[in-house]
Chains A and B, each alone.
Chain A
Amino acid sequence: MSDIKDMSNFKLKDLIFRNDADPGDFITYHEQKCNGCGACAIICPVNLWSMSQAKGGKARLTPKYKEWCMECAGCYAMCEADAIDFRYPNGGSGIIIKHG
C-alpha cells in the first residue's frame, strides 16, 4: 500500500522521453516585445520560462530548453505580446511519446 500513498513523489524528468537528434532552434524569443505578464512561466509544464528581475521583470528562456521542451506550444499560445515564436523541433528529433 505504501507505494500508492507515495504516488505523488514522482519526478517529471523520469517520465519524459526524447531522442538525442539535433532539434535545431525552435523557440525564438523576442525579449523586447515581452510585457512581463508571466503567462509563459505559468503554463510551461517543465519550467522553461522564468520571470527575471535582472531583465526588468521580463521572461527568460532557459538556454537548456532544447533538452526539456515537451513541444506543447503552450508558451506560444499564451503569449499575447507575440514575443514567442514556436515551431516544432527538427523532423525526427525531440520528445517521444511511448504510450500516447
Chain B
Amino acid sequence: MQKFDVCIVGAGPGGSMAAKVAAKAGLNTVFLERSRVVGEKNSSGCGLGQHWWRDFPEIMEKVERLPSFREITHCFFKVTDEDDRLITSLGTGWTKLDDDRIVYKGKGRGMTGCSIYRCDLDPLLANMAVEAGAELRTSTLVTDVIKEGGRVTGVVTDKGEKIQADIVIAADGAHSTVAIASGIRKRFAKKDITMVPQFDFSADPDKLDDVVGAAEQVWFGTFCAAYQVNFHDGFHLGAGQWLDIWSGKKPVELLTPILKIPAFQAMCRATDAKIREFQVHLLPWMPHPSYAGKTYGDGVLLIGDAGGFPCPLEAEGVWHACMTGKIAAEVAGQAISAGNPSRDFLKEYERRWEDSAIGEEYHFGKQFVGLWRATAFDPVFMKTMGRFIGEMQSLAFPGPVFDWSTSHMQAINDHLGHFLSLLPQMSAVVPHLKPLGRGISDANRDTIAELIVGSIKKKVPIIPTFITRPLIRKMLGKAGRQACKL
C-alpha cells in the first residue's frame, strides 16, 4: 500500500491548488482525477473574478494566454417581458476609481476578470502542481475512504488500490464521495443545491468581440434568469434552480425559453453562434458552508464545491476552491508537522477560512440567497420585477429624454406613477435588502452623516451640530461616543 503525506481527491482548480501548495511545502503529495485528462469532466461557468488579479496574479498572466480566454470588464442584464420583448438593458459600471482598487504591474485590474473554459484552466493549474512535485494520477476514481478508528487514513480507488495518507483533501465536487464516505455529510439538502443545465455555443471570435466584447450577459425574464458567459470563440448559456423548488420541468427546459427571445437570436445571428454541446452539473448554493455541516473531519478536509463554498450571491466557485485549497494544504502541513491529523487539530482549517477573504463572502449569505429565492428564481415575481426595472429605467437618465409620447414632465409623471404603483409588490425584497445596511462601512457612514448634518445646519442654523451630529450618527448605526470625537 502506498503512503503519502497528503492525498487530494480531484484535480479541479481547488485540488490542483492544494496539491501545488502541499508539494511546494515539501509534503509527499498525490492528487487523483477520475477523467482521462484534467478538465475533461467540468462544465462550470467559468468566470474568474477580479480578485484573481489580487490573489493569483501570476496565474492570471498565464490564463491570459490560454486559447479560450476572454477579458471581462462588464456585465449586461437583458430584461425581457412575458412576450419576449426587451424591456431594458442594465449594465455594470466601469471607472478608473474602481479599476485602481487592484493594481498589478502598474495596471488597474479592479474591474477586470475573465472567462476561461475549464478544459484550458484545469490543466494549467494541474501542471503547476506537477511542476511543484505533486504526483498526478488520472483515470483514477476514488470510491471509498479507508478508516482506522474512525479517522480517515486514505482512499480506495475503482481498481481496488488503497492509497494511504496522513490527510485526505476532498476536492471532488458537489457529489463528494470523500465527504459522504467519511461521514461528514450525506447529500446536500435540496435547498442548498442547484441543478445547472448549460448549452455551449460556438461563435465567430471576431464577431463576438464586436457584438459582445469584454462582457458577460444575463437574460432576465419570466423564465427567471440565465447567464451567458462569453469565451474567445463561444459562450455558455446556463441557468440553475434549487432542487427544493424545482419546477417540474426538465433541466433543458430552463434554457429553451431563452432560445426564443428575438434579442438573443439576433445576437446569435450576429456572431454566427450555434449550439455545440449540452452540459449539466450540480452546483452547491447556500448562505454559508456550515449549512451543509463541518468542512473538516478526522483526517479529512473539504474544499471548493465539496465543502459548499460557492459564493452565495453569484455562485462563483473556482476562486473559492483555490483559496480553500491553499488554506487546506497549509493546515495539512501544520497538522503533519505536529504529528496530529485529528479532527481537533483540523478545525484550525475552518477557523482559518472563516477569518480570511473566503469567510467574508458569507457575512450576508442569508440575505443574498434569500433575495434570489424571493426574486429571480420565482417566475411569478419576475413578471412584476421586469416591469419594475423597466419603470426604474424609464425614470432614470436617459429614460425621460427619449420619451416623446407626451410632454416630458407628463411622461416623467406617467413613469413615476407606474413605478409607485409597482412599489408595494416589491416589498418581498425588503427583508433581504434591509439587513445589508449593516454592511456599510464606518467611513461611508461618516460621510453620509456629515452630508445630513451639513444639510440640517444650512436649513436650521440655530440647532448646533454637537446635537445633530451624534443623533444622525446614532441613527445611521454609529455609536454616540465615537461621534463626539469628530
Residue A19 lies at the interface, judged by CB distance under 8 Å to chain B:
yes
Residue A62 lies at the interface, judged by CB distance under 8 Å to chain B:
no
Which of under 10, 10 to 19, 20 to 34, or 35 or more describes the interface residues of B?
35 or more
Other-chain residue from B141, B202, B252 in contact with A88 (beta carbon distance below 8 A): B141
Per the bound structure, the CA–CA distance linking A12 and B118 in Å amounts to: 22
A96 CB → nearest B CB, Å: 6
As a 0/1 sequence over residues 78 to 100 of chain A, the CB contacts with chain B under 8 angstroms (1 = contact) are 10100000111111101111111
A29 CB → nearest B CB, Å: 16
In the bound complex, do residue B158 and residue A97 qualify as a contact, i.e. CB atoms below 8 Å apart?
A: no
Residue B256 lies at the interface, judged by CB distance under 8 Å to chain A:
yes
Other-chain residue from A1, A39, A78, A92 in contact with B35 (beta carbon distance below 8 A): A92
Tally of A interface residues using CB under 8 Å: 41
Given contacts A87-B177, A91-B158, A100-B200, contact A77 B282 (CB under 8 A): yes
Residue B260 lies at the interface, judged by CB distance under 8 Å to chain A:
yes
Residues in B neighbouring A90, C-beta threshold 8 A: 141, 158
Residue B223 lies at the interface, judged by CB distance under 8 Å to chain A:
no
In the bound complex, do residue A42 and residue B260 qualify as a contact, i.e. CB atoms below 8 Å apart?
A: no
28 contacts between A and B (CB under 8 A): A1-B269, A4-B269, A7-B265, A10-B278, A19-B36, A24-B158, A42-B248, A42-B250, A72-B195, A74-B243, A74-B282, A77-B175, A77-B195, A77-B282, A78-B190, A88-B34, A88-B177, A90-B141, A90-B158, A91-B139, A91-B141, A91-B158, A91-B159, A96-B35, A99-B231, A99-B234, A99-B277, A100-B118
As a 0/1 sequence over residues 263 to 282 of chain B, the CB contacts with chain A under 8 angstroms (1 = contact) are 00100110000111111111
Instruction: Count chain B CB atoms within 10 A of each CB in A47, A73, A91 and give the residue with the most.
Output: A91
Residue B41 lies at the interface, judged by CB distance under 8 Å to chain A:
yes
Other-chain residue from B138, B197, B256, B279 in contact with A8 (beta carbon distance below 8 A): B256
Other-chain residue from A17, A78, A97 in contact with B42 (beta carbon distance below 8 A): A97
Q: A10-B275, A91-B34, A100-B44 are in contact. List 18 more A-B contacts (CB 8 A).
A: A4-B265, A7-B265, A15-B275, A17-B277, A39-B246, A42-B246, A45-B251, A70-B280, A74-B195, A77-B187, A78-B190, A78-B243, A80-B190, A90-B158, A91-B159, A96-B40, A97-B119, A98-B277
Per the bound structure, the CA–CA distance linking A45 and B252 in Å amounts to: 7
In the bound complex, do residue B139 and residue A92 qualify as a contact, i.e. CB atoms below 8 Å apart?
A: yes
Per the bound structure, the CA–CA distance linking A3 and B280 in Å amounts to: 25
User: Which of chain A's residues has its CB closest to B249's CB?
Assistant: A42
In the bound complex, do residue A45 and residue B280 qualify as a contact, i.e. CB atoms below 8 Å apart?
A: yes
As a 0/1 sequence over residues 172 to 184 of chain B, the CB contacts with chain A under 8 angstroms (1 = contact) are 0011010000000
Residues in A neighbouring B465, C-beta threshold 8 A: none
As a 0/1 sequence over residues 190 to 203 of chain B, the CB contacts with chain A under 8 angstroms (1 = contact) are 10010101011010
Per the bound structure, the CA–CA distance linking A96 and B47 in Å amounts to: 21
Residue B188 lies at the interface, judged by CB distance under 8 Å to chain A:
yes
Per the bound structure, the CA–CA distance linking A97 and B41 in Å amounts to: 5
Residue A55 lies at the interface, judged by CB distance under 8 Å to chain B:
no
Per the bound structure, the CA–CA distance linking A94 and B33 in Å amounts to: 13
Per the bound structure, the CA–CA distance linking A94 and B35 in Å amounts to: 9
In the bound complex, do residue A87 and residue B143 qualify as a contact, i.e. CB atoms below 8 Å apart?
A: yes
In the bound complex, do residue A76 and residue B177 qualify as a contact, i.e. CB atoms below 8 Å apart?
A: no
A59 CB → nearest B CB, Å: 16
Per the bound structure, the CA–CA distance linking A60 and B197 in Å amounts to: 23
Residues in B neighbouring A39, C-beta threshold 8 A: 246
User: Which of chain A's residues has its CB closest to B35's CB?
Assistant: A92
User: Which of chain A's residues has its CB closest to B186's CB?
Assistant: A82
In the bound complex, do residue B246 and residue A43 qualify as a contact, i.e. CB atoms below 8 Å apart?
A: yes
A60 CB → nearest B CB, Å: 17
Residues in B neighbouring A89, C-beta threshold 8 A: 141
In the bound complex, do residue A7 and residue B43 qualify as a contact, i.e. CB atoms below 8 Å apart?
A: no
Residue A64 lies at the interface, judged by CB distance under 8 Å to chain B:
no
Instruction: Count chain A CB atoms within 10 A of each CB in B42, B46, B251 and give the residue with the most.
Output: B251
User: Which of chain A's residues has its CB closest to B174's CB?
Assistant: A73
Residues in B neighbouring A91, C-beta threshold 8 A: 33-35, 138-141, 157-159
Given contacts A10-B275, A15-B275, contact A98 B35 (CB under 8 A): no
Residue A71 lies at the interface, judged by CB distance under 8 Å to chain B:
yes
Residues in A neighbouring B158, C-beta threshold 8 A: 24, 90-91
Residues in A neighbouring B43, C-beta threshold 8 A: 97, 100
User: Which of chain B's residues has its CB closest to A39's CB?
Assistant: B246
User: Which of chain B's residues has its CB closest to A84's CB?
Assistant: B187
Residues in B neighbouring A1, C-beta threshold 8 A: 269
In the bound complex, do residue A77 and residue B188 qualify as a contact, i.e. CB atoms below 8 Å apart?
A: yes
User: Which of chain B's residues has its CB closest to A19's CB?
Assistant: B36
As a 0/1 sequence over residues 229 to 258 of chain B, the CB contacts with chain A under 8 angstroms (1 = contact) are 001001000000001001011111000100
Residues in A neighbouring B308, C-beta threshold 8 A: none
Given contacts A45-B251, A77-B193, contact A8 B278 (CB under 8 A): no
In the bound complex, do residue B42 and residue A100 qualify as a contact, i.e. CB atoms below 8 Å apart?
A: yes
Given contacts A12-B278, A16-B278, A100-B279, contact A43 B251 (CB under 8 A): yes
